Amino acid sequence: MSTSGLNMSRRIRRTPYTDRVEQVGVRGFSVVNHMLLPKAFQSTVEEDYWHLREHVQMWDVSCQRQVELKGPDAARLVQWMTPRDISKCEVGQCFYVPLVDEMGGMINDPVLLKLADDHFWLSIADSDVLLWAKGLALGAGMNVTVDEPDVSPLAVQGPKAEDLVASIFGEHVREIAFFRFGFVEFGGTQQLIARSGYSKQGGFEIYLKGGALGGALWDLIWEAGQAFNIAPGCPNLIERVEGGLLSYGNEFTRENNPLECGLAGYCNTDGSVDYIGLQALQKIKADGVQRKMRGVLFDGGPGPAVSKPWPITVGEKRVGQITTGAYSPRFKQNVGLSMIDKGHWELGADVVVHSSDGLKRQGKISTLPFPD
Amino acid sequence: MSTSGLNMSRRIRRTPYTDRVEQVGVRGFSVVNHMLLPKAFQSTVEEDYWHLREHVQMWDVSCQRQVELKGPDAARLVQWMTPRDISKCEVGQCFYVPLVDEMGGMINDPVLLKLADDHFWLSIADSDVLLWAKGLALGAGMNVTVDEPDVSPLAVQGPKAEDLVASIFGEHVREIAFFRFGFVEFGGTQQLIARSGYSKQGGFEIYLKGGALGGALWDLIWEAGQAFNIAPGCPNLIERVEGGLLSYGNEFTRENNPLECGLAGYCNTDGSVDYIGLQALQKIKADGVQRKMRGVLFDGGPGPAVSKPWPITVGEKRVGQITTGAYSPRFKQNVGLSMIDKGHWELGADVVVHSSDGLKRQGKISTLPFPD
């Protein structure tokens, strides 16, 4: 089964936009960072996929909570948490930063926003980075405050996103480069807007500060969006797998290191930067990784949702598991993401995918993103 | 709305018992510690309530994850995290321990199990205590390993629990006192069993080590339980509110301190024990708390589920909010849990509860647990 009932309670936090997504007919949620993430509306995942590629969507991604680090030791703490050299991050820039523990295991993979030399946000995936950062800071006696501000990102994604956002907030948003942020005026407040988002279709994320403004922001974009054929949406399963966008907790966990996740480009291991897990990553690099993140293209037509991983075999040997998969209407095949064991990760290699409907599906190892 | 669809993915972890709870007809889940918690079966919450008070139920509470602290500094780390004096905890004992941050804000409220002088489990509520403990240990350079073992608690709750468990594992389990644990033999393994559980009806929790054994353990108890009228169940909303059992994330969050949560009895503030947040709690105690956890008994018949808090007013003033509530078939009134502001928390004081169906319900402040 791919969906079941979700029992609501205060602990599963609503967002500033939840009333609105209910009004437009949300049918299903996931839970990320103790908060609701809309995952299904009235249309199918495939309809949403085409719409996202052709028009513009508005996504309630409030669950991308911000962990705010502020104070004299803020930069030092950020650098301690990530293998990426953050001295190269400028104010106004977004940096994708793997966070690892002392074994090199992934703690999270947030986007870092540098607001000032002593002021950062970590826009996080699904783990309590707040507790990790606070624990490290308290333990080491660092002079930094760590908190979760009242900031709830709203994503505007799709090829028409720039025209829509410019029509509302002004032409200057067009000047914001990819993974950079600026500010827009909204209801007498200045709001941070970044050119970013969890799709490959382009767009922006508005980091709304002040949840009380959520309904008004939603309505403003919704109204202006009518001329652009806007629809409510959410990170699209097909589009994200095709684009090779990984999800913490799905494709990788604390059991995985960033080198095997394909994130070596974000890991400085030459010793010029010091951080938690440096020695572990140096050793993993020297020894060579034992598995690698890959795409798998496999046949057999549309299958059930991947609610628990699907084993991947070569002969009798299990060499991986599909952690997220979907039927691609463009490729007319299934696309999936998997760690693949050493010796079996060559591009084009043959594998068998054991889907939960009992089928054995012929597959081939692919690069990520899947080539168009 | 009280339920909506939950979209499944690997990130929302299944438990060793999920296949079984699906077989017996689970209808709804919540998500705790990135893991499924069954929340509804075929019967109503009220039917489950009576059954739990009269017979025995088996609950998949695997989401009560264990954070294992092991090593020379394990006891020092535990004590640093909690205001409770853990020097009084014996091997074989369970201690309810509030965890607080440097402001005195609640981080979690786990049950501590002392396995040995240098070996502890924290059986946690819904926040990543693993990251908190690891961060503190790494920051302070402590000699302790922090990990999540493959341990998945299965609760057996209700007045017939002892007879059932004794019939399976032997008469010696009857000797286990409340909040103490022992061991039972199961399939060639020794498994930890504690007299504990998230109800006031008595029973045990089996901390199953080795998820692969989950199905066999479930089946063993299920078969033996037929003679005791066993049913699948879950923490029961009515029973837990009547019993005054609080839930982290629902009744209190990091915004609350343990003194206002009614947990002063678990907080040493005389300075004989040092921990994170000691100074903060001493100041709060000296100043006096500004609100207190209370029960609220209110009329108007059964209402909708409390999926977002219901405001509580006195005159024009908001003095609290029902964070969890339910209709009690025994009291023939609604019972709810709320922090109540200073000046309004006297027992028997009149309040008005604004339920989400638009009713204004007359209520009275009560002790916790609600008096029978």
* Number of structural domains chain B divides into: 3
Which of the residues B8, B148, B337 would you substitute to probe the A interface, choosing the one with the greatest number of A C-beta atoms within 10 Å? B8
> For position A44, what pLDDT does the model report?
94
Q: Alpha-carbon distance B17 to B153, whole Å?
A: 10
B34 touches chain A (CB under 8 A): yes
Query: Which residue carries 């936090």 as its tokens?
Result: A13
- The secondary structure of residue A165, as a DSSP letter, is H
Task: State how far residue B98 is from chain A, nearest Cα, in angstroms.
Answer: 15
What ipTM describes this predicted complex?
Answer: 0.97
B45 touches chain A (CB under 8 A): no
Burial bucket for residue A368 (CB in 10 Å: 0-12, 13-18, 19+):
buried
A83 cis-preceded (ω within 30 degrees of 0): no
Query: Which residue carries 């990130």 as its tokens?
Result: B11
Task: State how far residue B80 is from chain A, nearest Cα, in angstroms.
Answer: 10
Burial bucket for residue A276 (CB in 10 Å: 0-12, 13-18, 19+):
buried
B8 touches chain A (CB under 8 A): yes
Which of the residues B1, B3, B4, B145 would you substitute to probe the A interface, choosing the one with the greatest number of A C-beta atoms within 10 Å? B4
Output the domain CATH number for residue A94.
Answer: 3.30.70.1400
Is the residue at B7 inside a domain?
Answer: no
By C-alpha distance, the chain B residue nearest A133 is: B135
For the record, the structure tokens of A25 come out as 């007919």
Chain mean pLDDT for chain A: 97
CB pair distance less than 8 Å for A128 and B127: yes
Q: Alpha-carbon distance B11 to A313, whole Å?
A: 22
The closest CB to that of B137, out of A14, A29, A139, belongs to: A139
> For position B372, what pLDDT does the model report?
87
Yes or no: say if A258 and A264 are a contact pair by the CB < 8 Å rule.
yes
A101 touches chain B (CB under 8 A): yes
Output the domain CATH number for residue A194.
Answer: 3.30.1360.120
Look up residue B240 and give its amino acid. Answer: R
Task: State how far residue A135 is from chain B, nearest Cα, in angstroms.
Answer: 4
Question: Chain B neighbours among A 130-169 (CB < 8 Å)?
Answer: 131-142
Yes or no: say if B36 and B83 are a contact pair by the CB < 8 Å rule.
no
Q: Within this chain, do residues B59 and B76 fall inside the same structural domain, yes or no?
A: no
Does residue A359 carry a pLDDT above 90?
yes
Q: Within this chain, do residues B72 and B35 fall inside the same structural domain, yes or no?
A: no
Does residue A2 carry a pLDDT above 80?
no
CB pair distance less than 8 Å for B140 and A137: no
Q: Within this chain, do residues B32 and B157 fall inside the same structural domain, yes or no?
A: yes
CB pair distance less than 8 Å for A276 and B138: yes
- The secondary structure of residue A260, as a DSSP letter, is T
> For position B168, what pLDDT does the model report?
98
> For position B4, what pLDDT does the model report?
72
Torsion, CA B159, CA B163, CA B164, CA B166, rounded to 10: 140
Q: What is the pTM of this model?
A: 0.97
Residuewise pLDDT in 10s, chain B (372 residues)? 345 799 999 999 999 999 999 999 999 999 999 999 999 999 999 999 999 999 999 999 999 999 999 999 999 999 999 999 999 999 999 999 999 999 999 999 999 999 999 999 999 999 999 999 999 999 999 999 999 999 999 999 999 999 999 999 999 999 999 999 999 999 999 999 999 999 999 999 999 999 999 999 999 999 999 999 999 999 999 999 999 999 999 999 999 999 999 999 999 999 999 999 999 999 999 999 999 999 999 999 999 999 899 999 999 999 999 999 999 999 999 999 999 999 999 999 999 999 999 999 999 999 999 998
End-to-end CA distance of chain B: 31
pLDDT band at residue A167 using 50, 70 and 90 as cut-offs:
very high
Let me know the angle formed at the C-alpha of B32 by B356 and A358, rounded to the nearest 5 degrees. Answer: 110
A125 touches chain B (CB under 8 A): no
By C-alpha distance, the chain B residue nearest A128 is: B128
- Residues from chain A contacting residue B323 (CB–CB below 8 Å): 10
Q: Within this chain, do residues A56 and A129 fall inside the same structural domain, yes or no?
A: no
Q: Which domain holds residue A174?
A: 18-64+150-241
Yes or no: say if A198 and A61 are a contact pair by the CB < 8 Å rule.
yes
A42 touches chain B (CB under 8 A): no
* Last-in-domain residue among B93, B128, B163: B128
Name, in order, each residue with C-beta under 8 angstroms of A56's C-beta and a sequence gap of 6 or more: A156, A157, A158, A159, A160, A161, A164, A203, A225, A228, A229, A230, A231
Is the residue at A192 inside a domain?
Answer: yes
Identify which of B110, B32, B85, B52 has the alpha carbon closest to the alpha carbon of residue B232: B52
Yes or no: say if B76 and B244 are a contact pair by the CB < 8 Å rule.
no
Q: Within this chain, do residues B22 and B122 fall inside the same structural domain, yes or no?
A: no
The SS3 assignment for B43 reads: coil
Q: Within this chain, do residues B74 and B181 fall inside the same structural domain, yes or no?
A: no
pLDDT digits (tens, 9 = 90+) for A290-345: 999 999 999 999 999 998 999 999 999 999 999 999 999 999 999 999 999 999 99
The SS3 assignment for B267 reads: coil
Is the residue at A340 inside a domain?
Answer: no
Q: Within this chain, do residues A75 and A48 fall inside the same structural domain, yes or no?
A: no
pLDDT band at residue A4 using 50, 70 and 90 as cut-offs:
confident
